[in-house]
Amino acid sequence: MTSSEPGTTPPKASKATTASRTSTAAKTAKATKAPKTPKAPEAPKTLKAPKIPKGESHLALVRRARRINRELAEVYPYAHPELDFRNPFELLVATVLSAQTTDLRVNQTTPALFAAYPTPEDMAAANPEEMEELIRPTGFFRAKTRSLLGLSAALRDDFGGEVPGRLEDLVKLPGVGRKTANVVLGNAYGVPGITVDTHFGRLVRRWKWTDEEDPVKVEAVIADIFPKSEWTMLSHRVIFHGRRICHARKPACGACPIAPLCPSYGEGETDPEKARKLLKYEMGGYPGQRLSPPPDFPGKPAPALGAV
């Protein structure tokens, strides 16, 4: 029995006990508090592109690249794959659909697709015309339908309905290349991989980590610069930065937190206020690309397809 006996006064808590309870309550409130939307990153008002010698040694390049990665880790501690998925099969399908479109459009499309075809067996038996209509918003829907039907049949017939966890098996599936395979391995199976998409390739060339254009060659060069344990998170950070700040046409140089380290500083808008207006997603106070983002994501969930 926890209450006091009738006619008696409950004992007062000691100062130490009260302080302990207050501290515990504060910690609990802090732990359950929703993450804040990050403020726009700040860069020095006047910058010049750092001088990187043409004959930069490999060691110097490695040190510079790893410092950029450390800076990005502080800016995007919540970096993650921006495709909604609940299992390796959903991630594989979503990644195939993401070709030539945004992750947002894929995330808005896959709920209905996975409701209709939740397993490889279901998808392999799908009516092509019906699937085409479901994935039409992602573009190139006929070619993507052929890929999804083919890879689903291969998973059913050759892998017991399971997505394989080896790169050499994944790249044999219709519509699956090294980029898609590395996305699945890194994010569904915890196997380190470098995802060389358009954002990643653009940024590593801007930073003079490589001048290679071929994604396979880019992957090999970057793999030689960073330890294997960093490959997956490095990919997320670089892609996050490319989508939010270092855009293809108008980089927000004046709002870039790694501007002092960037040899291409000045290719975009350098005025801090103008640059801030170019920031996208949570950096600009807008929704992200996922309808179901991770709990620690500081931005807003994306709207469903057709939502106002």
Q: Could you tell me the two tokens for 10?
A: 């409950």
Residue type, 138: T
Rounded CA-CA distance 3/227 in Å is: 60
Rounded CA-CA distance 98/199 in Å is: 13
* C-beta neighbour count of 90 within 10 angstroms: 18
By the 8 A CB rule, do 137 and 116 touch? no
By the 8 A CB rule, do 226 and 204 touch? no
Active-site positions read: 179, 197
By the 8 A CB rule, do 126 and 114 touch? no
Beta-bridge partner residues of 300? 287
Closest CA to 87 of 145, 160, 168, 163: 163
Closest CA to 204 of 229, 186, 179, 225: 225
Residue type, 3: S
Closest CA to 102 of 286, 297, 308, 290: 290
What sign for the dihedral angle of Cα 94, 100, 101, 102?
Answer: positive
Beta-bridge partner residues of 287? 300
Closest CA to 43 of 301, 227, 281, 274: 274
Residue type, 259: A
Rounded CA-CA distance 281/288 in Å is: 5
What's the full length of the chain, in residues? 308
